[in-house]
Structure 1
Amino acid sequence: MSPEPARLGILHGGSFFQLAALDDPAVHLWRPRAHYLPELAAGDLADLDVLLVCDRLHGARLTAAAPEILTVTERGGTVIVLGENEIAPWLPGLRSHRPAETDFWWWRTGADPGVRRRSPDHPAWRHLSERSVRWHYHGLLHPPEGASVLALTEKEGPGPAEVLLYEDRVSTPGRLVVTTMDPVYHHGSAFMPGATQLLYGLLGWTMTEAGAPKAPVGAP
């Protein structure tokens, strides 16, 4: 008997860009179950292997839902937390999260956004390209000791809170993947090179590792 495929949930707030992403055939490949944040109840996420927390959710509602969200990692699953979200009050292991100036137009002017890949041998890079993380961001993170830093910025200067994407397997029994980039917003709005690649890559990486069948050859 073949193993049961991994189960994906997507937590959203009903915004147009979130609904557009949920309606994307490439996202449908992973057979996600949509969860509307204002109606989230205890036990709704109990059977998930991977939960994608959409970007730009209501801060107070997201914080209130944190105990339910973290049940996924407490059972050994993966929670992907996207930006722009309020995460400092509730995200385990996070040492700081500070705002950063966002440059929307570097890709039109040819400027260097200062984003750099790290941990080049990490399994994530089998699914993520350099282009998928090299666009803009909405904050700077100081992850816990032992986390795998995947992308940071050199534009902000030296200091501990430069990280834009990391994987944390030390703060919970499961895994947290955290970024200050907002790929659902830009994918759903059809605006920003790299955002769609990041969204697809995060799903491909985490779902494949969770045991989902690989997306069909030729899928976006």
Structure 2
Amino acid sequence: MYRLGFLHGGSFSQLTTLADPAVQVWRPRDIYLPDATEGDFDGLDTLIVSDRLHPGLLTNVVPWIRAVAERGGTVVVLGENGTLDWLPGLRGFRPAETNFWWWRTPGGDNGVRRSGDGHEAWDHLTERAVRWHYHGLLEPPVGATVLAYTDLERDGDPATQQVLLYEDRVSTPGRLIVTTMDPVYHHGSRFMPGATQLLLGLLRWTGTTAPVHLN
């Protein structure tokens, strides 16, 4: 049986998301960050790390989060969650101004582009799912697959620190899916349709491709 964990801090948006029937269909294990124990992370095939967690409390459980990927599982890390310097392989993080109203500007283009054509992620994610807004730019590990980036923010080498979503299968025996978009907050707050598409698409993608029955 597929085992999904949902790590959250008990905010209204996180609890609303967790209670959504579209999420509950995956039978997620409810992991409340302030009370989390090592055993809560045992045996998970996929772990969703909700956006906007308390940084001090998150630090306490980082070894258990990483252990899921070290056992061969999938860890999905959603932004905002600090600088993400605890993630294996991540080479850089740069804050970025969040443009909430880009669609009201002439041309309506926030510069977000999908990447990795032919990747299995695009069997589950729409282009709209990655094109709304973001809270930082990532420099993923060498060998990771970039799935979304922006070409409007450049700092030095234009090939670095523009990434908004990537999949990393090189830094651990499992896989890390990392984004600076915050779909749990927006889905639970009932606004930003693209965020809902991203959240549910990530659940479908990981739920249908993750190896199960990990030791």
Do 1:63 and 1:87's aligned partners in 2 also have CA atoms closer than 8 Å? no
Alignment partner, residue 150 of structure 1: 147
Q: Is 1:51 matched up with 2:55?
A: no
The correspondence for 2:136, drawn from 139, 154, 163, is 139
CA deviation after TM superposition for structure 1 residue 88, in Å: 3.0
Alignment partner, residue 65 of structure 2: 69
CA deviation after TM superposition for structure 1 residue 145, in Å: 0.3
CA deviation after TM superposition for structure 1 residue 42, in Å: 1.7
In the aligned structure 1, how far is the partner of 2:83 from the partner of 2:8? 15
In the aligned structure 2, how far is the partner of 1:77 from the partner of 1:175? 7
Alignment partner, residue 171 of structure 1: 171
CA deviation after TM superposition for structure 1 residue 191, in Å: 1.4
In the aligned structure 2, how far is the partner of 1:193 from the partner of 1:105? 14
Structure 1 88/28 Cα, relative in aligned 2: closer, same or farther at 3 Å?
closer
Tell me, which stretches of 5 or more residues in structure 1 are unaligned?
213-220
In the aligned structure 2, how far is the partner of 1:192 from the partner of 1:105? 11
In the aligned structure 2, how far is the partner of 1:31 from the partner of 1:88? 27
Equivalenced residue count is 208
Provide the aligned C-alpha RMSD in A. 1.2
Alignment partner, residue 35 of structure 1: 31
Q: Is 1:79 matched up with 2:39?
A: no
Alignment partner, residue 25 of structure 1: 21
CA deviation after TM superposition for structure 1 residue 155, in Å: 1.0
In the aligned structure 1, how far is the partner of 2:197 from the partner of 2:153? 24
Which amino acid counterpart does residue 178 of structure 1 have in structure 2?
Answer: V
CA deviation after TM superposition for structure 1 residue 87, in Å: 4.3
Deviations 1:167-212 (A, max 9, x none): 0000011000000000000000011130000000000000100268
In the aligned structure 2, how far is the partner of 1:89 from the partner of 1:186? 24
In the aligned structure 2, how far is the partner of 1:24 from the partner of 1:75? 29
Scaled by the length of structure 1, what TM-score is found?
0.91
In the aligned structure 1, how far is the partner of 2:109 from the partner of 2:22? 30
Which amino acid counterpart does residue 67 of structure 1 have in structure 2?
Answer: P
Identity %: 67
Do 1:117 and 1:130's aligned partners in 2 also have CA atoms closer than 8 Å? yes
In the aligned structure 2, how far is the partner of 1:90 from the partner of 1:64? 11
In the aligned structure 2, how far is the partner of 1:15 from the partner of 1:185? 9
Which segments of structure 1 move beyond 2 Å, counting only runs of 4 or more? 107-111
Alignment partner, residue 114 of structure 2: 117
In the aligned structure 2, how far is the partner of 1:187 from the partner of 1:120? 26
Alignment partner, residue 200 of structure 2: 200
Scaled by the length of structure 2, what TM-score is found?
0.93
The DSSP-based 3-state class of the residue aligned with 2:178 is strand
In the aligned structure 1, how far is the partner of 2:87 from the partner of 2:41? 17
Deviations 1:116-171 (A, max 9, x none): 00001100000000000001000000000000000000110325100000000000
The DSSP-based 3-state class of the residue aligned with 1:167 is strand
Do 1:10 and 1:51's aligned partners in 2 also have CA atoms closer than 8 Å? yes
